[in-house]
Structure 1
């Protein structure tokens, strides 16, 4: 009976260890994905900003070249 209990405790410890290891890896993966998404959004925002600045600059140059 004691060996059965020890086996059961070993299985339980193994299952808990596996669960916590997997949860830790998934949390780290989620954080990396969120950081990547944030970096992509930040890059898109900078590109939009620079595009707007270029358009404004071109519009101003077009007005100066007129009359």
Structure 2
């Protein structure tokens, strides 16, 4: 049995303090998203920047959920 696979594909119920960490990550990312939206012209690059920011939030929150 591969422990990494088992951990990555199971449900991780929030532990004490984790929801606040998820919120903090999302709020900071939202600040950056607004800055990108304000400064970058509408373009493929802007779309990719926002998409990758969303991915960064998802991976950061997965890191919190899976490893604490």
TM range (shorter): 0.3 to 0.5
- TM-score of the two chains, using structure 2 as the length reference: 0.37
TM-score, normalisation: structure 1: 0.38
Greater share of helix: 1
Q: Larger radius of gyration, structure 1 or 2?
A: 1
